[in-house]
Structure 1
């Protein structure tokens, strides 16, 4: 006779395998049809707001692992807060202006820009950008990121551009905007000025030269035959040299060697003598740098003089202590040049070619001129040494080509007047990780003026008019009028309409007696675009608010979006646009190398989702220390998938054992729980508390680790294993069985809600199989608060020790199995030799047979009296032998009372009673 039908075995339609690549798109389609985002917002309306402001990715190309990491982290934060007492809207955004789109059209799409007007070209840029947005939006949604995808913010939209113009106008009114000629990062490959945030550093091989400048007017401190020695790695800037800078407080020496006299810093004499191979050196004179001010030297290439000036920027870290100074090609050079009234000579054009202001080199590309300039210096006998060095050098982040410092007329945003306010706001912000505060603080402290003008077509025009006398006009009246026009028509009108049509009707100015005006044709830096989003998005949209609660972006944004947003916000509102900054690292391959197509180590989010599913990618994101650089590879993802499988199987086991449980009628009050049930309930509250603390502090790996450990160790390897006998064998409505199911139900509901921000596709599937739930989606619920349980500490301490004892018993059982003493653990009799506190704990633990999953567990005498063949551990001795009796065909326990019931001779007394009382109709 088969007794299988009398066992309450697990039943569930929740599949063992997730089949995520196929099921997730179906789930996402369902969410979209049900408009789950709107339902979440409606449910939480009226709560305290929590706003995560999306830093806009650039609308060009497929998303990469950095995008995936960033967007998934944001989704964790937003989903958690919407399930934890907040109203948390999420408005995604896109950055759409700038050179990459221009380049994509001209190079990839073969658009002939010369055949188009500026306005026509801009329209093609817009069309391209919007297609890229659609492309990326689908990929972001495939990650499971929930948001207002149909109403994102886009930097090219009229309402955004209008608010950006207002930000510019407000900054100008407050004296933070000016036009001036200064050296700025200039990209010959882009033919445009660049901001610091558009610079990245790569190694570059450059010539390293030492050049002598012969004194022409010693100013009564030097002789005209003596020579200053300078060092530079940019020979191409020598034609622009106008001065030599020395430090006023450093000591300089006139060194005689080989019949010549050279002037260098005293501290560097020995080093330079070795560098140049000087022999028989003699210091004939020393004097401080301040004494050298006003001395003049002959330019090594041209018939003009170079002035010796004083500069605090001069140091002894490299070179000679005498610094080659070209005010048109260096920031420090420019500053000291202004102090001495020097010209801003810049003989290099927009494309990087020398102009006729550099006689002998006209039409030569600056980098190619290094060789010919060095050769001429050598021919003139002023080149002391030439070598080559490889050093970190600034490059255009878009074209990857080297940039130069070049003086041009540009528009600048000055932070000088608000630097202290900026620094104070940095201190007021919450930082994750903490070092972010120091990093941004130092950047703001040391930052110069921000060049915001670009000589390109695709961007927001700088809303400046010029009077007939050349005076820039930026007034509230003109700014508001342009902003209103842009809001109504878009910024293309700046390039389509006549200047007079862009001005307010009847506008007059003392700077234009004839009533004619011109306009600025440069556009704004893209960082000014995105940096204005606090006004153009947070202030513009009714569903958001300023300041945002959190900005979270990659660590490169300390010099980018975090920085530009802070500058514009403090300039306009006096406050930072965010309460909290969270930064994350970069995604690297499994060996910690940067991903590169040439290396073949690129991991593509779309490919991962097709192979494994978005929830695996999301679980990987939760498992890593994202605030540092993170590694991802097929092997790492396989480990994550194994962790996912264990969590999923835990959910499946719990669901399977709730098939006959109705939470409305079958719940057992906690006061009736067995102690083991109470312990698991206490541990559930611990996990809940720790995980919520992890979410609150943006430490998502703590969430993952606490849930994963609880599922695999305390549930799967302990509680669920111990509970099987009660769940399967005992009568359906036995109080102990219903108590276990109550714990399992609460555990499953809590865990499902708790990990919904991380693996929402999976938890939505769990939710669909849960008995007794009324909400249509787990996303429309709140994560519960941990429950304080009286006596929790004592219970936790007691059962932690009991589990340690259990581990030792399991080791003894394993050894007995290996020695063929027993087969399965249910064939064993375990004798425990314990004393003291451990004995008391075990005696009060309840069913030891169930705890150790054996047929007979007996507490014997003191540990010291244990037989010599027992297994001795620190607190107990364990003796394992085969249990006496017969195997029950229903519960598989080995019992001496099997066969005592004549009706069911194959069963033990317990099973015979259960079958007769509850299953007489079956068997």
Structure 2
């Protein structure tokens, strides 16, 4: 506000706003001490005539009272029926937030709280604004983590059949769902909890297979033998979204030489006469050397032929890697010649450990010069880029590593049965050393992919899998994605880059707990059998019986005889059902087809963590674009991860894990882990900058509790001063209200507009900042301190008092509705204490903030802010002393500023004018020139104020002088202002108020 910029900062109130509930505390509210002074007989005599706040709304709910009160509010205010109620409303406006399914494999945690509460704030806001909210909670129920946990509960897990594993996994998932659901309900999440979606439901699985069917018919799904990320610890293929990268992984990197076998024609003359020439290679995965089929170079880069000072051998490597490589190998290289990479064409070298194998030199754009030697060892079975090179040049794709990450017999007797990441790696290094091709081995710390489930390293391994050809989808997907709104906007580029790198999507998993890929294999030849008729038949069976039917029904029911006959098979019994299941990202990525309603089947919003840019956001986009060329969402909101309050990852070993249940209900020792209730958890979510990492811990939660208590105090003050007031009969028209009350309505409308915009932009951190600034600064520190005298000491039904009660009623309504989506329990609780509510109306069933355009008045700001500038000068000059012990003389030169102040005080001197009320002094005198008789030793503050009206058309800077004098009169025994004529009498205002009530 302007007064905050132009004036000296306002003096802090002597007692917390809303905390003045007893005569004694009110009587000394201007004193420096917060302790009440002894009451005199005269003081107590007028106690009953002062209209102090009256409300049963508690300022705090200590201990277990807070969580218990919230549970009671949920029951009393119909939290469980709210979603169904709003779905039945007749409105054309609908808002759809599609719930990304949390994984059903563990207890609820703060990551769940962050995500679900953000969604609930969003839904409640839209519901209050009149939208019919569509929100169906769901759970991701298949996959390896659930399968492993279910199997870990049984000693003979390895002997379990597929159906036993599936049954145990489903039971485990169902238990996790119930735990999580109970927590979500307790957090106040609005939904129809009796009708959620689960990826193991038969109808859901059938819809999923329907999307698979459409993608298969369009040619996007195919089977191939190619390298994929493979988890030896879990014996299955994994998707890129299922990886987490260990930044401290240590690899055994090696520098090795590949002896030149065939000189490149363009370098033949240069190399002639050189006795020994080698290509110099660096790799962090020595175990892949037995699978080497080529050496790749960058065609446009410079390469050097160098001579080693130590051995006299010649090496070929990138020109800009010569010096660094020589330093690493502790030698010196003499550059004999330099050439372009393209000059290496048609050369080859001998494999260092496989006698007779020739490795050709091949151009490739994936070669980088940042590390290594600028020449890349290429093993097509163990690298994505390597595979691309192999496909282009028709190289062999031989994988000598099995599903357990162990060398097979094809790798040779020296390597057979050795784990490639352990003793197999060591054996290869020993073989290189024996062949005298190992130049150096060193430990190399780098980022390396781990299986996010088992927390162990993965490898890249060629195997026969089912894929989605994303290369043919991603161009359309990227164009579609550019039309989606991203919050924050920077996330769009990250997702576009991820899509750009993705050429295929491996969708098959070697597990039992999931949706089967509807394919059959010939018992003898291993050939696959899949077509539209087969898929359609499986969809019908799954819709009726669920996916268990794949493992329980006989093959002749799963594969109709007429289908097998059409493809030339003599008997369906020649086939067996495939045992691979669909990737769980395909499971969840098809949720839009099952959950979203209407022909469009598009959600207004998906809201998830940043990991979903490569996960659910992407799989949902790819399946939707592949089948109907559009995104399933209009807006994506992306939040960060939860961390400890020092910015560290949560870990049981560190002891910084925050359990939402403990936050709400307290831990074993309430002195260390007090019960805060769900609204503190919700406040933490809303006040955090969720677009970065979100910190939580004891200090953060304690601060959130303090913030809520301050808010409760503000609400309590308003409730207490609305006692005996009915807006329908007692409200004052805004045009007749005190200027300061009109100004509060003016601020309310501005606040309401800003709050609404912040909600629309999903900027809940800004919502909290606006709320705190408004209730603490504009209301408590500013407005309440000004109107207390009028509220407490005027006659109960006096229009002057009704004026500020009218403003308070509006302020209360606006403030409560503004935080209701964030703090539903507090909003409903405080609404129950409204003295003028005939029925206990729900905040959420009565709409969003309602303001009036008449609250915004031209010139109103200038009047109040000019007065506040002078008020700030006065309060700043008395150094925290009681302003009621002073009277003021304000001198303003004739002009517009003087005229504005005259609207607040028509008479020259007053103790009851609107100007004096704003000043908070006992008496104010308004003059246009300095009095001749004014003593020179009086405190005098000079200042200027710039008036800016009608968009700058009227601008006038006026000077003013505020003269501060000791109050000349005595303290009134009732209102405590220095306006009485004698120490034992009341001031004229108080005398008039209590006249006729009882004898003095």
Q: How high is the TM-score relative to the length of structure 1?
A: 0.94
User: Of residues 340, 349, 364 in structure 2, which corresponds to 1:288?
Assistant: 340
The reply to whether residue 872 of structure 1 matches residue 941 of structure 2 is: yes
| Residue in structure 2 matched with residue 820 of structure 1 by the alignment | none
| Residues 104 and 141 in structure 2, CA contact (< 8 A), matched pair in contact too | yes
- Residues 508, 205 of structure 1: alpha-carbon distance in 2 compared, 3 angstrom cutoff: closer
User: Of residues 53, 66, 80 in structure 2, which corresponds to 1:10?
Assistant: 53
**1:270-308 superposed Cα distances (whole Å, 9 cap, x missing partner):** 33233323346241x444333433323221112122222
| Residue in structure 1 matched with residue 314 of structure 2 by the alignment | 261
Tell me, in whole angstroms, the C-alpha distance in 2 between the residues paired with 1:472 and 1:526.
22
| Residue in structure 2 matched with residue 242 of structure 1 by the alignment | 293
User: Of residues 242, 248, 255 in structure 2, which corresponds to 1:210?
Assistant: 255
The reply to whether residue 730 of structure 1 matches residue 776 of structure 2 is: no
**Please, which moves more after superposition, 236-245 or 210-219?**
210-219
Tell me, in whole angstroms, the C-alpha distance in 2 between the residues paired with 1:211 and 1:36.
69
Tell me, in whole angstroms, the C-alpha distance in 2 between the residues paired with 1:615 and 1:545.
36
| Residue in structure 2 matched with residue 626 of structure 1 by the alignment | 690
| Residues 55 and 553 in structure 1, CA contact (< 8 A), matched pair in contact too | yes
Written as runs of structure 1 = structure 2, the 5 A alignment for 1:218-229 is: 218=263, 220=265, 221=268, 225-229=276-280
Written as runs of structure 1 = structure 2, the 5 A alignment for 1:510-521 is: 510-516=566-572, 517-521=575-579
| Residue in structure 2 matched with residue 321 of structure 1 by the alignment | 374
The reply to whether residue 689 of structure 1 matches residue 756 of structure 2 is: no
| Residue in structure 1 matched with residue 282 of structure 2 by the alignment | 231
Tell me, in whole angstroms, the C-alpha distance in 2 between the residues paired with 1:193 and 1:808.
73
The reply to whether residue 910 of structure 1 matches residue 962 of structure 2 is: no
The secondary structure found in structure 2 opposite 1:395 is: strand
Shift of 1:877: 4.7
User: Of residues 330, 334, 340 in structure 2, which corresponds to 1:277?
Assistant: 330
**Please, which moves more after superposition, 79-88 or 289-298?**
289-298
Written as runs of structure 1 = structure 2, the 5 A alignment for 1:392-791 is: 392-466=447-521, 471-504=527-560, 506-516=562-572, 517-539=575-597, 546-610=601-665, 611-770=675-834, 771-772=836-837, 774=839, 776-789=841-854
- Residues 893, 251 of structure 1: alpha-carbon distance in 2 compared, 3 angstrom cutoff: closer
**1:644-672 superposed Cα distances (whole Å, 9 cap, x missing partner):** 12221111111111110112211222221
Shift of 1:868: 4.3
**Please, which moves more after superposition, 479-488 or 187-196?**
479-488
- Residues 111, 839 of structure 1: alpha-carbon distance in 2 compared, 3 angstrom cutoff: farther
- Residues 240, 873 of structure 1: alpha-carbon distance in 2 compared, 3 angstrom cutoff: farther
Tell me, in whole angstroms, the C-alpha distance in 2 between the residues paired with 1:839 and 1:624.
46
Tell me, in whole angstroms, the C-alpha distance in 1 between the residues paired with 2:335 and 2:491.
51
| Residues 172 and 474 in structure 1, CA contact (< 8 A), matched pair in contact too | no
Shift of 1:697: 0.7
- Residues 895, 248 of structure 1: alpha-carbon distance in 2 compared, 3 angstrom cutoff: closer
**1:307-334 superposed Cα distances (whole Å, 9 cap, x missing partner):** 2222122222221122101110001111
Shift of 1:695: 0.5
| Residue in structure 1 matched with residue 108 of structure 2 by the alignment | 63
User: Of residues 68, 75, 89 in structure 2, which corresponds to 1:22?
Assistant: 68
| Residues 201 and 393 in structure 1, CA contact (< 8 A), matched pair in contact too | yes
Tell me, in whole angstroms, the C-alpha distance in 2 between the residues paired with 1:868 and 1:382.
98
| Residues 686 and 786 in structure 1, CA contact (< 8 A), matched pair in contact too | no
Tell me, in whole angstroms, the C-alpha distance in 2 between the residues paired with 1:249 and 1:488.
60
- Residues 378, 848 of structure 1: alpha-carbon distance in 2 compared, 3 angstrom cutoff: same
**Please, which moves more after superposition, 801-810 or 731-740?**
801-810
Structure 2 spans left out of the alignment, 5+ residues: 1-41, 666-674, 906-913, 945-959
**Please, which moves more after superposition, 683-692 or 461-470?**
461-470
User: Of residues 364, 374, 380 in structure 1, which corresponds to 2:435?
Assistant: 380
- Residues 742, 64 of structure 1: alpha-carbon distance in 2 compared, 3 angstrom cutoff: same
Shift of 1:758: 0.6
Tell me, in whole angstroms, the C-alpha distance in 2 between the residues paired with 1:103 and 1:267.
49
| Residue in structure 2 matched with residue 893 of structure 1 by the alignment | 977
Tell me, in whole angstroms, the C-alpha distance in 1 between the residues paired with 2:935 and 2:236.
86
The secondary structure found in structure 1 opposite 2:406 is: coil
Tell me, in whole angstroms, the C-alpha distance in 2 between the residues paired with 1:676 and 1:312.
71
Written as runs of structure 1 = structure 2, the 5 A alignment for 1:50-89 is: 50-89=95-134
| Residues 260 and 279 in structure 2, CA contact (< 8 A), matched pair in contact too | yes
| Residue in structure 2 matched with residue 366 of structure 1 by the alignment | 420
The secondary structure found in structure 2 opposite 1:264 is: strand
**1:856-903 superposed Cα distances (whole Å, 9 cap, x missing partner):** 22235658988444153544554444322332222222224458xxxx
Tell me, in whole angstroms, the C-alpha distance in 2 between the residues paired with 1:244 and 1:128.
49
| Residue in structure 2 matched with residue 858 of structure 1 by the alignment | 925
Tell me, in whole angstroms, the C-alpha distance in 2 between the residues paired with 1:687 and 1:106.
56
- Residues 396, 884 of structure 1: alpha-carbon distance in 2 compared, 3 angstrom cutoff: same
| Residues 77 and 828 in structure 2, CA contact (< 8 A), matched pair in contact too | no
The secondary structure found in structure 1 opposite 2:381 is: coil
- Residues 347, 871 of structure 1: alpha-carbon distance in 2 compared, 3 angstrom cutoff: farther
User: Of residues 216, 219, 243 in structure 2, which corresponds to 1:172?
Assistant: 216
| Residues 91 and 130 in structure 2, CA contact (< 8 A), matched pair in contact too | no
Shift of 1:775: 6.4
The secondary structure found in structure 2 opposite 1:35 is: helix
**Please, which moves more after superposition, 381-390 or 548-557?**
381-390
User: Of residues 149, 164, 169 in structure 2, which corresponds to 1:104?
Assistant: 149
Tell me, in whole angstroms, the C-alpha distance in 1 between the residues paired with 2:838 and 2:218.
58
The secondary structure found in structure 2 opposite 1:59 is: coil
Shift of 1:633: 2.2
Tell me, in whole angstroms, the C-alpha distance in 1 between the residues paired with 2:838 and 2:92.
24
| Residue in structure 2 matched with residue 902 of structure 1 by the alignment | none
**Please, which moves more after superposition, 505-514 or 756-765?**
505-514
Shift of 1:831: 3.2
Tell me, in whole angstroms, the C-alpha distance in 2 between the residues paired with 1:196 and 1:768.
52
Q: How many residues align?
A: 903
The secondary structure found in structure 2 opposite 1:886 is: coil
**1:807-854 superposed Cα distances (whole Å, 9 cap, x missing partner):** 332222335x3xxxxxx4323223334446654443333423322332
The reply to whether residue 140 of structure 1 matches residue 167 of structure 2 is: no
Tell me, in whole angstroms, the C-alpha distance in 1 between the residues paired with 2:333 and 2:73.
85
Tell me, in whole angstroms, the C-alpha distance in 1 between the residues paired with 2:81 and 2:118.
22
**Please, which moves more after superposition, 331-340 or 266-275?**
266-275
Tell me, in whole angstroms, the C-alpha distance in 2 between the residues paired with 1:600 and 1:216.
59
Shift of 1:226: 1.7
**1:163-197 superposed Cα distances (whole Å, 9 cap, x missing partner):** 11111111111111011011111111111111110
Tell me, in whole angstroms, the C-alpha distance in 2 between the residues paired with 1:804 and 1:560.
56
Tell me, in whole angstroms, the C-alpha distance in 1 between the residues paired with 2:80 and 2:553.
45
**Please, which moves more after superposition, 565-574 or 884-893?**
884-893
The reply to whether residue 843 of structure 1 matches residue 843 of structure 2 is: no
- Residues 838, 629 of structure 1: alpha-carbon distance in 2 compared, 3 angstrom cutoff: farther
**1:243-278 superposed Cα distances (whole Å, 9 cap, x missing partner):** 111223333332233332212123323332333233
| Residues 467 and 509 in structure 1, CA contact (< 8 A), matched pair in contact too | no
Tell me, in whole angstroms, the C-alpha distance in 1 between the residues paired with 2:170 and 2:936.
85
**Please, which moves more after superposition, 770-779 or 611-620?**
770-779
| Residues 664 and 772 in structure 1, CA contact (< 8 A), matched pair in contact too | no
| Residues 683 and 823 in structure 2, CA contact (< 8 A), matched pair in contact too | yes
The secondary structure found in structure 2 opposite 1:581 is: strand
Shift of 1:106: 2.4
| Residue in structure 2 matched with residue 828 of structure 1 by the alignment | 886
| Residues 51 and 90 in structure 1, CA contact (< 8 A), matched pair in contact too | yes
- Residues 805, 486 of structure 1: alpha-carbon distance in 2 compared, 3 angstrom cutoff: farther
- Residues 470, 677 of structure 1: alpha-carbon distance in 2 compared, 3 angstrom cutoff: same
- Residues 806, 41 of structure 1: alpha-carbon distance in 2 compared, 3 angstrom cutoff: farther
